Amino acid sequence: MVQMKRKVLLVPFIAVLTLLVVGLASAGNLVSNVDIELNGEDLTTDSLAGFAGEVVPVRVSFSAIQDSTDVKVRVSVYDGHDDVTDVTGRFNIVKDSRYSKLLSLRLPSDLDTESDDLTLNVEVYDADHGTDDFDDDYRIRMQRESYELDVLAIDYNTRVSAGDVFPVVVVLKNVGFERADDNFVVASVPELGISSRGYAGDLIPTEDYTDYDDEEDSTQKTVYLKVPANAASGVYELEVKVFNDDTETVITRLVNVGSASSTTVLASAKNQDVNAGETKTYDLVIVNSAKSVKVFNIQTISGPVLTVSAPTVVTVGPDSSEVVPVSVAVSRDAAVGTYTFSVDVDGEQVVLGANVTGKSVSTSVVALTVILVIIFVVLLAVLVILLTRKEQPIEEVETSYY
């Protein structure tokens, strides 16, 4: 009878124990046998070196302990300011299967010392908060390159028109451990065949301000690119390269090139009267309706009677205009009549005219005329003085008798 009671009592105990085991199993580990590779090397408790600023692959391999959905793998490095992170999309895992996911991280580049220890965090987790996810840390020994340039910013107009000249502003910094001498900046659009280079000088290491006078570890350089006037509309790759004899960094961006914007060329007066031997000035107005600076090339075309001169290059700001003086000198032996000449502004021609109405008076004749007039005026003044002068009476001598 006692044994029967014991069996009756054991039944609920076993049931409770079974439920507890099942519950623990459902709340057990998500994955096991996790292997981490950084840049192709096994990542263990020993520190693995990585160079600051480089992009390294991180491969995470593991075995599934149980079935699960919406699983993600996340790797991150905290650089003292922000988390550098990469995470996979969601995927499902099946119990007793092996999985491998490849991620990438750009290692922090802003190190204050030649080397520093950072922590790489690796997580494998799912949407079930009751699951014991994988979360572990690994030590990475970060090391700065001796010679390394970084591009901090690239500022430019992302939408330009054919024929435009647009500036590209590049901010570069020496993130290496040694001094960077004779740095250059090159901006180019290879598909359009355009390129421009600028000298950025010398840059000191970040931590060596006390050893240098009036020198910086970063600088800003502006270069200008001229889009060909016949460039087809489309999106092109803008390439920015900063380099010196020891290192090179290349960054790419996109620029949208549209059709050529309208340029208006106006003349304040298309025809002027002029004498042979004289010079007249024509005012030419160039209107730039583009949203960026444009550089115009100017050419003049004339015959033997007229000598025409104008600036060969004119820069006009966005949505603005510029008055360009065009000087026209007429030959001394030019016959009376109308003579034409043209001014070409980036392929747009304006035809102007000079109406020769007579011969010019020579300089010697003008000078002689002026001299004769002066002499006449002087003689006339003398004559007036003589005519208006009155004869003074002779004073009588008074005789005294004593």
* Percent over 70 (pLDDT), the chain: 77
Q: Please state which architecture CATH assigns to domain 149-258.
A: Sandwich (2.60)
> Residue 238 above 70 pLDDT?
yes
CB atoms within 10 A of CB 9: 9
Instruction: Work out the pLDDT band at 207, boundaries 50, 70, 90.
Output: low
- Count Cβ atoms within 10 A of the Cβ of residue 83 and give its class: 0-12 exposed, 13-18 middle, 19 or more buried: exposed
Q: Is the pLDDT of residue 3 over 90?
A: no
Burial tier of 230 (Cβ tally within 10 Å: 0-12, 13-18, 19+): exposed
- For position 11, what pLDDT does the model report? 46
Q: Residue 15's pLDDT is what?
A: 44
Domain coordinates of the chain in residue numbers?
27-143, 149-258, 263-356
CATH-assigned architecture of domain 27-143: Distorted Sandwich (2.70)
Per the prediction, the chain carries an average pLDDT of 80
Indicate the SS3 state at residue 9: helix
Q: Regarding predicted confidence, which is higher, 34 or 6? A: 34
Picking from 39-53, 115-129, 323-337, which range would have the lowest pLDDT averaged per residue? 39-53
Hey, how many other C-beta atoms are within 10 angstroms of the C-beta on 156?
Answer: 19
- Among 184, 181, 173, 247, CA closest to 207: 173
What does the CA dihedral 115, 121, 122, 126 come to, rounded to 10 degrees?
Answer: -160
Topology classification of domain 263-356 = Immunoglobulin-like (2.60.40)
pLDDT one-digit tens code per residue, 367-388: 666 787 788 777 777 776 776 6
Model confidence band, residue 123 (pLDDT cutoffs 50, 70, 90): very high
Give the C-alpha distances (Å, rounded to integers) separating 180 from 64, 149, 184, 208, 322: 50, 8, 11, 12, 42
Fold agreement (149-258, 263-356): yes
Percent above pLDDT 90 for the chain: 38
Give residue 240's pLDDT: 96
3-state class (DSSP) for residue 395: coil
Starting at the edge strand found earlier in the chain, the sheet holding 149-156 runs 149-156, 165-174, 218-226
Q: Across residues 38-49, what is the average pLDDT?
A: 71
Amino acid at 247: T
